[in-house]
Amino acid sequence: MINSLALLSLIIGIPLFGMVFALIAKGDENFGGKNSSDVAIFTIITNIFMIWRIFMVIDEENLSLQLFENISWLSVPPVSLVFAVDNISLLMILAVHLIVLMGIIAVRNELQAGLKTLMVYTLLFLSLSTGFFVSANIFSFYIFFAAMLVPLFMLLGIFGELKKAERLNIFLIYNIIGAGLVFTAVLLIYKYYGNINLNNKDIIQWQQNKGMLIYGLLALGIISRIPIWPFHYFISSISARVHNPLVFILISLLPLSSIYALLRFWPTEIPDFISRQFIWVHIIGTVTILFISLISLINRDSQYKIFAFINVYYILYLLGIFIREQLILQSIGYALFGLLIIFGGLEIVSAYIYSQEKIHESYSSGFLCRAKRLSLVYSFLTFAAIGFPISSMFTNNFLILSKISSANIQIGTFLMFSCLIVSASLIKEMFRLKTDDKESSLGKDDDLPLGQFVFMMFVIFVLMMSFIRPLWFVIDE
């Protein structure tokens, strides 16, 4: 399907326009910050409507890429950018928009200094991440894959409050090396096969034209963004320590780009001698998950628990991708939608609780006993996170885990055990917040503001509907 209205370019361009408006928003630092956050919210809502519109244009039964847009960029060497979408990529874009919106709503009242800068980089990131999800050929894929690092690095540097600045250098250089590996692979593909579209990826032969090298570089470059051993340090040393909820959400989307890239790039046909080696990836992944979940159980930091939660599932989906079944790949896409929204919601609510605890200097808590709205939202999101049948995560995780278990029962058991541990750590945190402490000064007045509560209820509604039917909001024309 050819996209004559350039809808996909538009959803990349709208956050960019928003960024420019946010940048030139008038007023002093505080007032200008509020203006720019309003611009950001308006931009994201506009883009959500555009995404909704695109959902209605595409054929939801068709699993291949649709709405192709071709933009000629460079003639020597000939390079063009191609955009296209399918259900999964649109769901990813929608989820990212929703959680970024949640993040902005959460920080706009909390953060005074630097809000404008935060909004500018967030919108830039949003534009680039949208570009990444709609990329349909190797060059556009690489450009957006690497470009996302720029706003993330700046956000981490300005709002990350990192005590050791060297970690930031390591983080950027490490990611640039990863991007460099992908770039080399992309140029090799370009040399032997041209600027191919991602739906033609299977023309890359494993045993011809340096196919092994291409796939090796791609796998290494892409997986390096997921906190799986031995790459775990570079990601977790930074992202688990970020306290700004919006920045934490954005940095946690970095592994998502890898999962999505593997969903797109991983070939359908894999030689036996290669697929036999996947057991090592499964073992390493399982051990990593186990360690992350155990650390989250003993760690008292609520932020780390959320970090562990999302990364355990990222790695689980990574292992699911190696199963190479269309149904599983689709399940991963739908599960990711639920996972992202639950993660975003939990992070926002936790950050709110943490900020209130900090204001009242009351850490023994029992806060949820007195704040009804907060309790409702937090409890629902926690139950959704631990796997209750109230979001799209439930059925899809069930499918993915059962498929992995049927392939290797030991690995499957360990994975289920890890998921249980990470769920236990989330429940432990919820119990802490629900165990009433008479001395705590936190009360009803510190509950979630009504506007934010209504928005969170809308998010919960979206989650519940995704359990019933993932694409419930699509009205066939």
Partner 1 sequence: MLQNWFIMLPELLLFLFLPISRLVDTYRANKTSRTFSTLAQIFLLGTILCSVVFYNKNVFPDFWHNTAFTTLLKNIAYFLALLWFYLSSKWFLNKNRPSYKFYLICFFMLLALNFIASATSLIVLGIAIPLVCISYYKLILRHWDFEKVKKVSGLYAVAGIFFCCLLWGGIWIIYKQIGALGYAEISRYYTGANSINIYGYIAVTMIISCIIFLLALAPFHLWYINFISHGVLPVCGFISLVPPLIYMCGLINLVKLCFPAFADFLVPLFNIFGFISLFIGALSANYESDIRRLFSFLSVYAMGFAFASLNDFSDTSIIYLLIFMISFLSSLTGAYTVFLGFKSKSEYLSEFSGISGFSHLRPYMSAALLIFIFSFMGLVPTAGFFAGLPIIDGLIANASWIKIIVLFTGVIFAINACIHIIRNIWFQNPTTKFDRADKAIYICLLFNVIFVFMILLNPDALVGRLIYVVGDIK
Q: Tokens 């705590």, residue?
A: 440
Length of the chain: 477
What amino acid is encoded at 344 in this protein? Answer: G
Does 173 contact partner 1 by CB under 8 A? yes
Angle at which helix 29-57 crosses helix 87-107, to 10 degrees, equals 160
The only residue of 22, 54, 99, 188 in contact with partner 1, by rule CB under 8 A: 188
Taking every pair of C-alpha atoms in the chain, what is the biggest distance, in angstroms?
72
Chain positions 231 to 270 lying near partner 1, rule: CB under 8 A, are none
Chain positions 108 to 147 lying near partner 1, rule: CB under 8 A, are 117, 128, 142-144, 146-147
SS3 of residue 436 by DSSP: coil
Q: For residue 153, what are the CA distances in angstroms to 164, 238, 379?
A: 14, 11, 33
Does 20 contact partner 1 by CB under 8 A? no
Nearest alpha-carbon partner for 83 in 8, 139, 145, 138: 8
Q: Are 338 and 384 in contact (CB under 8 A)?
A: yes
Does 157 contact partner 1 by CB under 8 A? yes
Strands 79-85 and 66-74 come out as antiparallel
Does 149 contact partner 1 by CB under 8 A? yes
Chain positions 71 to 110 lying near partner 1, rule: CB under 8 A, are 73-77, 79
Does 451 contact partner 1 by CB under 8 A? no
The only residue of 176, 220, 376, 411 in contact with partner 1, by rule CB under 8 A: 176
Angle at which helix 165-193 crosses helix 211-223, to 10 degrees, equals 150
Q: Which two tokens stand for residue 368?
A: 């949820």
Between 210 and 324, name the residue whose CB sits nearer to partner 1.
210
Q: Binding pattern to partner 1, positions 32-71, x when CB under 8 A?
A: ----------------------------------------
Between 132 and 334, name the residue whose CB sits nearer to partner 1.
132
Q: Which residues pair with 79 in a beta bridge?
A: 74
Would you list the DSSP string of 360-391? HT--S--HHHH-HHHHHHHHHHHHHHHT-TTS
Q: Determine the size of the site formed for partner 1 (CB under 8 A).
A: 34
The only residue of 190, 304, 322, 337 in contact with partner 1, by rule CB under 8 A: 190
Does 31 contact partner 1 by CB under 8 A? no
Chain positions 418 to 437 lying near partner 1, rule: CB under 8 A, are none
Contacting positions for partner 1 (CB under 8 A): 23, 73-77, 79, 117, 128, 142-144, 146-147, 149-150, 154, 157-158, 165, 168-169, 172-173, 176-177, 179-180, 183-184, 187-188, 190-191
